[in-house]
Structure 1
Amino acid sequence: MPDTSALHSASDALAAGRQVQSGRIRAISENLANADSVPDTPGGTPYARKIAVFAPVVADSPGDPVGRIVRDTSDFKSRYDPTSPGADLKGYVRLPNVNIAVESADLQQVIRNYELSMSASASISTLTQATINLIS
């Protein structure tokens, strides 16, 4: 019987990578959903962009990827809108530090990574089936 542990390791690593991409998609989706939100209270703190950060996955023993969500510490934007409930005493509203163009580009990259992972998984499946057919 041939040793297929390398194929199993590769499949596990690809599954862990897809899990990472799913975490990134959740963070990006939340950022896009809150890109135009404003604070409810005068001078309130706006939504801070979230970034999914993951530890590297080792191919030999991928396990579950360890990750966390961190807040982007870049400056918030501001806009003069004295009618907003979130405006400070000078009439300025602090807006989220979310750049829709950056989030869209990140989302496209995540989708490409996910698709490549699915394609690689399909190739491993095909290779496994061909191996089984050879030894049968």
Structure 2
Amino acid sequence: MKQVFSVIFFLSVSTALLNCSGTEKKNDSKQTDSKLPVLTLIDSSSYDFGTIKEGQVVEHTFKFRNDGEYPLILNNITSSCGCTTPEWPKEPIGPNATSSIHVRFDSKNKSGPQVKTITVYANTEPAYSELRLRGIVNAEPKPEAEN
């Protein structure tokens, strides 16, 4: 009789613990995630500038919207190369507001296929997003040396 009571007690406690631990945590994390700022690109995360001559400068503006419930703060933006410089808003972007990141690529001393990655660090989940500029740079012909 004691064994049957012990088994029933153990099963009751186990069932109660399993029911309590699962659903509340999932709902809490879902609520927290939905309140975070969300950087949503309006166009694309990649821009193909086609084929250009070495030395030309390419500029592109990536437009985005904050689809979250709290202000979006762009903490920092880095690029994979010193030839690519980003400009971004320093003030918070409110919920449902739009803004943009302007990127400038200088192809001086670059030739061949180019892919430049721009990493956007913000108060979002995940904490960063990536943008890309891609295209082909045709080398400038070198002047022939005189003998």
Query: So what's the TM-score if we normalise by structure 1?
Result: 0.29
More helix by share: 1
More strand by share: 2
Q: Identify the structure with bigger relative contact order (alpha carbons < 8 Å, sequence gap 6+).
A: 1
Q: Highest CA radius of gyration, 1 or 2?
A: 2
Query: So what's the TM-score if we normalise by structure 2?
Result: 0.27
